[in-house]
Structure 1
């Protein structure tokens, strides 16, 4: 069996073909969760951290609401408001839309 060709350590910049992806550590839904930001394309794949009108669950083993809130506020909401968010589930949104209307982003 072959192992992984590259292990992601910390907030690396990954190069996949012509795409550059910045790894953002966004734990809280689960330990080790990451999001992938494509700065050249103004897109972030938020995984299970941030959704349109919601945030990830934190009631499963390893989940932590405070850690998730900190991840979202310090890693995702600091991106440009026009950044398109592709969450792990559901419709796409933007950082600006979530900052202005997501009811789960208090605290």
Structure 2
């Protein structure tokens, strides 16, 4: 479990959290469902909830967790992000969380 939390923490390095960016493309509330070193693992995990997979190696953010694929749903309303977080948790991702952020990389 601590490995999964560390992986998710690497995904968080990908984002910038500022209220002023919330209207820009790719910014807003996200449900984070994990980060994986294997692209296939990320796709398998994302498929359960039709989440997006982001290759952090292609991120424009200098703090991105290189070598990881992040699984996330968003941007959506904060209420919707919390509903997705609960769905992630009911699918076994107990460390899923919600964050107001921007993704700086291509969605796969």
Q: Normalising by the residue count of structure 1, what TM-score does the alignment of the two structures yield?
A: 0.27
Give 1 or 2 for the bigger CA radius of gyration. Answer: 1
The structure with higher relative contact order (CA 8 Å, sep 6+) is 2
Question: Higher helix share goes to which structure?
Answer: 2
